[in-house]
Amino acid sequence: MKTKLLPILLASALLAATPLLVSAQSAQSAPTAAAAPQGQAGKAVIDSSSRILATLQQRKGEFSKSPAALRDYINTELNRTFDRDYAARLVLGAHSRGASDADIKLFADAMADSLMQRYGSALLNIQGKPTFRLKGETPLAGNRGVRVATELVRAGNEPTPVEYLMRNVGGQWKIFDVNIEGISYVQTFRNQFDAPLRQKGIKQVASELRGGTLQAGQPVNGK
DSSP-derived secondary structure for 6-64: HHHHHHHHHHT-PPPB-S---TTS--------TTHHHHHHHHHHHHHHHHHHHTHHHHH
Question: pTM for the full model?
Answer: 0.78
Confidence of residue 190 (pLDDT cuts 50, 70, 90): very high
Confidence of residue 11 (pLDDT cuts 50, 70, 90): low
What's residue 19's pLDDT? 34
Residue 134 pairs with which residues in a beta bridge?
A: 150
The domain defined by 2-214 folds into Nuclear Transport Factor 2; Chain: A, (3.10.450)
Confidence of residue 24 (pLDDT cuts 50, 70, 90): very low
**Does residue 154 contact residue 128 with C-beta atoms inside 8 Å?**
yes
- 31-82: per-residue pLDDT in tens? 334 433 447 788 777 777 777 778 888 899 999 999 889 888 888 877 777 8
The Cα 23–Cα 134 span in angstroms is: 23
What's residue 195's pLDDT? 95
- 108-142: per-residue pLDDT in tens? 999 888 877 776 777 777 666 777 888 989 999 98
Average pLDDT, the chain: 77
* Least confident interval from 6-20, 117-131, 147-161, 177-191: 6-20
What's residue 8's pLDDT? 53
- Average pLDDT value for residue range 187-213: 93
Of 25 and 207, the structure prediction assigns the larger pLDDT to 207
The Cα 95–Cα 92 span in angstroms is: 5
- Average pLDDT value for residue range 158-175: 86
Bridge-based pairing of strands 172-180 and 160-169 is antiparallel
56: alpha, beta or left? (left if phi > 0; alpha if psi -120 to 50): alpha
- How is the chain split into domains, by residue range? 2-214
Instruction: Choose among 5, 64, 55, 48: nearest CA to 172.
Output: 48
Confidence of residue 171 (pLDDT cuts 50, 70, 90): confident
